[in-house]
Structure 1
Amino acid sequence: MSRTFFSLFRLWIALGLLAGCGSFPAARPDSAPQPIAATDSPSPAPVSTAAPTSTPSPTPQPSATPTATPTEIPRPRRVLILSIDGLRPDAISLAPMPNLLELMRTGAYSMAAQTIFPSATLPSHASMLTGQCPDKHGINWNDYLPENGYAAGQSLFRLAKDAQMRTIMFVGKEKLRQVTPPETTDVYRYINDRDLVITAEIIPELQKGFDLTFIHFPTADWMGHEYGWLSPEQFSVLRRADEAIGNILAALAESGLREETLFIITADHGGHEQTHGSSLREDMTIPWIINGPGVVPGEIKVSINTTDTAATAAWALGLPIPAEWDGIPVQEAFGGLPQPRLELRCP
């Protein structure tokens, strides 16, 4: 036979084999699944065919590593609020104020918080410590007028005293006595002097222990009115205020109180040229810095009003927040979800 014949013959044989075996069969919709090898595990109980069910998952076995469980936000044992009168946010880095910058780096902050209008010292501090706009707390003057009485409503200090907490207030302007009545403060001092002098006086009281403290530094405002906001003279006293902050931090650390203290550092207003009180951004925008137990470092994105200071301090101390307060806790600073609200403007 010729070579061509054998080639055709082999091709015919191959085609015949393919015809007998066919291609790999496709799975049919009604074909039964292949049996699974038997195991020692008991068969699952019969399942109703009324509705499709998923294949039962095997029972999870204990793991050597315990599953993480949610933990509560660490609560501070005490709160210290420091107001630097007339501090604009941009002055912190321009001065500069290294201790305050470090508290920002290791804490949470907003450089866009808002004060009340008019942006004046006494009504602003009343809003800061009562959690209310001026139309509620009633302080619509900016001088020391004891005959007018005190801010209306429940102040942060009233809540703390009702809870048997030790409260301290040191201020550099006499008119701030009208923010909260005398019976709400265990220790109250008005010191008409520089920030470092006020600090030296208050440190011994802080080292005795406290639950709630408010400190007011007046000097930056004085220099702003005398020489202008963001002037070299104002920067000079802001550096002294920053030194005073460092002294407070060191004293609390030495006394073993630093790690359990929540700091809120803010201002009553900003300023422009040699004045403030207007609705200008330079007057209305204030820094708001929080540092201490449970605080998650980073910039705070939600809008903050000065009334939120009292609410945040009360929340951190486990105190009830009065329904009439306009301020709300800045829970984003502690890693919580921001509470929805429209931007608050006072009045």
Structure 2
Amino acid sequence: MKKNLLIIVFCTIFAVNNLSAVDNHAKHVILIGLDGWGSYSIGKAEMPNVKKMMTEGCYTLNKRSVLPSSSAVNWASMFMGAGPELHGYTEWGSQVPELPSRIVDEDGIFPTVFGLLHRADPKAKIGCIYEWDGIRYLVDTLALSYDKHVVEASADSTATARFAVEYIKQEKPDLLAVIFDQPDHVGHAVGHDTPAYYTKLKELDSYIGQIVQAVKDAGIWDETIIIVTADHGGIGKGHGGKTMQEMETPFIIAGKGIKKGHVIEESMMQFDVASTVAWIFGLQQPQVWIGRSIIK
């Protein structure tokens, strides 16, 4: 009898603790991605908004890209919780898997964090705002309630931030990804780790500041977690290789419940981003995912 009572008490405490953990999770996640942003640049870059997030949250400068260290394969891994061996997107501009995806979901795509949230809560407001049209092949657009390819960005570099600010204020999204196609273009045209590259990072930092302010203006700051990260870095005028300048990218996370000024010492890979977002929302990740949440 005492043994049974002990089991009941233990199970009750375990359930309450789990419920408490879920209740303490944020209700909103804003994921900001900068294409081609290498960790090597942090020390030299004038990015006050990003560096403020680093002091007010957790970060690592050692998150590694999957190979090849190029765009589509790494955005896919970031959204899909697994590497190219499983999701099948293997090249810079992959629009469909070159390898058969290990599994596909109801939408016919390898499971994404966007799809997981949509199935858990069909009324969730899920958005993706992006400059490179290659992103739309990787996010499961059927799970989105707002899908915005910012074609205006080619003529107006402020457009993406403007759309993000408007969407956040109007809709208060549960999950929003804002993906800038910079500083990658400057890296290819002029070179990574050049004065022009750092000028672009300073500009992008101002857009991040605008997005953060929009979250505050929307009245959801206290229930929001913001992530700033990248798909890959670069060296010279290119990327896709196996140098650490190409492989290591920042991961910065700040907001509700996140430790302040904490350096993440644990190993982190690109696919851990999806698992981290899934954990924040209390979602059960698919067995095929290999990512791990970087926060607990």
TM-score, structure 2 as length reference: 0.84
Q: 2:211 aligns with which of 248, 251, 255?
A: 248
Among the aligned pairs, what percent are the same residue? 26
Q: 1:212 aligns with which of 175, 178, 194?
A: 175
**Aligned equivalents of 1:139 and 1:264: distance in 2?**
23
Bigger Rg over Cα = 1
Query: Partner residue of 1:169?
Result: 128
**Aligned equivalents of 1:227 and 1:268: distance in 2?**
19
Superposition pairs of residues 271-310 of structure 1, within 5 angstroms? 271-297=234-260, 298-310=262-274
- Does the 8 Å contact 1:264/1:309 carry over to 2? no
Q: Per the alignment, in what secondary structure is the counterpart of residue 263 of structure 1?
A: strand
- Does the 8 Å contact 1:144/1:174 carry over to 2? no
Superposition pairs of residues 94-173 of structure 1, within 5 angstroms? 94-143=44-93, 145=95, 152-163=109-120, 164=122, 165-173=124-132
**Aligned equivalents of 2:281 and 2:94: distance in 1?**
30
> Offset of 1:141 from its aligned partner?
2.7
**Aligned equivalents of 2:270 and 2:157: distance in 1?**
22
Query: Partner residue of 1:80?
Result: 30
Query: Partner residue of 1:13?
Result: none
**Aligned equivalents of 1:321 and 1:160: distance in 2?**
10
Q: Per the alignment, in what secondary structure is the counterpart of residue 87 of structure 1?
A: coil
Q: Per the alignment, in what secondary structure is the counterpart of residue 188 of structure 1?
A: strand
**Aligned equivalents of 2:108 and 2:66: distance in 1?**
15
> Offset of 1:147 from its aligned partner?
10
What code does the residue aligned with 2:61 have? M
> Is 1:265–2:215 an aligned residue pair?
no
CA distances 1:111-167 after superposition (whole Å, capped 9, x unpaired)? 111010001101100000000101111112322647989984210010011122210
What code does the residue aligned with 1:262 have? I
> Offset of 1:202 from its aligned partner?
1.9
What code does the residue aligned with 1:107 have? G
Query: Partner residue of 1:184?
Result: 143
CA distances 1:10-40 after superposition (whole Å, capped 9, x unpaired)? xxxxxxxxxxxxxxxxxxxxxxxxxxxxxxx
Q: Per the alignment, in what secondary structure is the counterpart of residue 158 of structure 2?
A: helix
What code does the residue aligned with 1:167 have? I
**Aligned equivalents of 1:195 and 1:330: distance in 2?**
32
Q: Which has the higher contact order (CA 8 A, sep 6+)?
A: 2
Where structure 1 has 5 or more consecutive residues not aligned to the other structure, the ranges are: 1-69, 337-347
**Aligned equivalents of 1:245 and 1:88: distance in 2?**
17
**Aligned equivalents of 1:109 and 1:182: distance in 2?**
29
- Does the 8 Å contact 2:65/2:270 carry over to 1? yes
CA distances 1:302-322 after superposition (whole Å, capped 9, x unpaired)? 000010100000000111111
**Aligned equivalents of 1:142 and 1:152: distance in 2?**
18
Give the RMSD, CA atoms, in angstroms: 2.1
- Does the 8 Å contact 2:78/2:273 carry over to 1? yes
The structure richer in helix per residue is 2
What code does the residue aligned with 1:83 have? G
TM-score, structure 1 as length reference: 0.72
Question: Aligned pair in 2 of structure 1 residues 259, 151: CA closer, same or farther (>3 Å)?
Answer: farther
What code does the residue aligned with 2:195 have? P
Q: 2:198 aligns with which of 235, 244, 265?
A: 235
Q: Per the alignment, in what secondary structure is the counterpart of residue 245 of structure 2?
A: helix
